Amino acid sequence: MSEEYIAGRKPVMEALRAGSPVNKLYVAAGNRRGLEDLLSLAHARRIPVSEVTPAVLDKMAPDSGHQGVVAAMAARAYATLDQILAVAAEKGEPPFILMLDGLEDPRNLGAIIRTAEAAGAHGVIIPERRSVGLTPAAVKTSAGASEYLPVARVTNLNRTIEELKEKGLWIIGADMNGPDYRTVDFAGAVCLVIGSEGKGLSRMVREHCDFLAAIPMRGQVGSLNASVAAGLLIYEVLRKRDARKSAGQG
């Protein structure tokens, strides 16, 4: 069975807490300070722990800042679209899904997953091709959120958009040619589509969206980082939903 590695104290701890299939832990020899809770949880789950040199950890998780601990896990299984929709149904909430069109930076993916999970989104959709996946860097940047928020990988975003429309979701794309995002109704069943760092939404995906929403830019910079833009829009969805709930209770 193939394995993948996640690195860093918080991502590894969240993987252990979430009951993820961790096969083995590797820690820096002679440097267990600050790892007591993590190692105790690993012991409780009967997960073997090996001490290795920092150089070995560097090779296992390059460029991910392992902080002296790496977990070897069974290769991650992506969720399905139906599983994401089931999460919303189980919570009795209108679906709130993020779709990422051609994102290339794993740290942006991880940051978006972290924000989406914190805001109560039900899942993230990414394409199989021309897009970053759940790499160790993405998992680490998510700070453990990737262990709780389902991520689906689909072969065709446009077909998936049409499937979501059939299930009653509005597809709203982040695009500078749309109206101010603060005027858009995000309160119902929504799939929020975020484009790539350099190109934004692809033409076909943009054309398949029901609506567009723009973040106004008042300064000299013409655009925001993809994860920052996603964060603004994610919390606008949450704000609009909370406002509708309050109005309904009143």
CATH code, domain with 38: 3.30.1330.30
Mean pLDDT of all residues in the chain?
90
Indicate whether 165 and 54 sit together in one domain: no
Based on the fold, state whether residues 30 and 87 are members of the same structural domain. no
Q: Does residue 116 sit in the same domain as residue 65?
A: no
Chain segment 188-197, per-residue pLDDT in tens: 999 999 998 8
Residues 111 and 70 in one domain: no
Distance CA 156, CA 102 (A): 11
Q: What is the DSSP string of 114-153?
A: HHHHHTT--EEEEESSSS--S-HHHHHHTTTGGGTS-EEE
Instruction: Please write the tens of the pLDDT for every residue from 170-194.
Output: 999 999 999 999 999 888 999 999 9
The pTM for the full model equals 0.78
CB-count burial class (<10 Å; 0-12, 13-18, 19+) for 238: middle
Higher pLDDT: 21 or 156? It is 156
Q: How many helices (H) and strands (E) does the chain have?
A: 9, 10
Of 75, 71, 76, 63, residue with least CA distance to 7: 71
What are the tens digits of pLDDT across the range 70-89? Answer: 988 877 778 999 999 999 99
For residues 86 and 37, membership in a common domain is answered with no
Residue 8 reports pLDDT greater than 90:
no
- pLDDT value of residue 6: 83
Q: How many CA atoms lie within 13 A of 177 on its CB side?
A: 7
Q: Is the pLDDT of residue 133 over 90?
A: no
117 lies in the same domain as 54? no
User: What confidence score (pLDDT) does residue 135 get?
Assistant: 80
In the listed set 43, 74, 105, which residue is the last one of a domain according to the structure?
Answer: 74
Q: Domain boundary residue among 28, 51, 74? A: 74
Look at residues 47, 74, 101 and tell me which one is the last residue of a structural domain.
Answer: 74
Query: Please, what is the angle between helix 36-44 and helix 9-17, to 10°?
Result: 30
Q: Structurally, how many domains does the chain consist of?
A: 2
Which amino acid is located at 127 in the chain?
P
Q: What is the pLDDT of residue 144?
A: 81
In this prediction, residue 64 carries a pLDDT of: 66
Least reliable range by pLDDT among 77-91, 127-141, 151-165: 127-141
Helix (H) or strand (E) holding 97: strand 96-100
Range of the domain at 18: 3-74
* pLDDT at residue number 100: 97
Share of the chain above pLDDT 90, in %: 53
Q: Is the pLDDT of residue 125 over 90?
A: yes
Give the Cα separation of 179 and 244 in Å (integer): 21
Co-location of 153 and 36 in the same domain: no
CA dist 158 and 164 (Å) reads 10
Which CATH number is 95's domain given? 3.40.1280.10
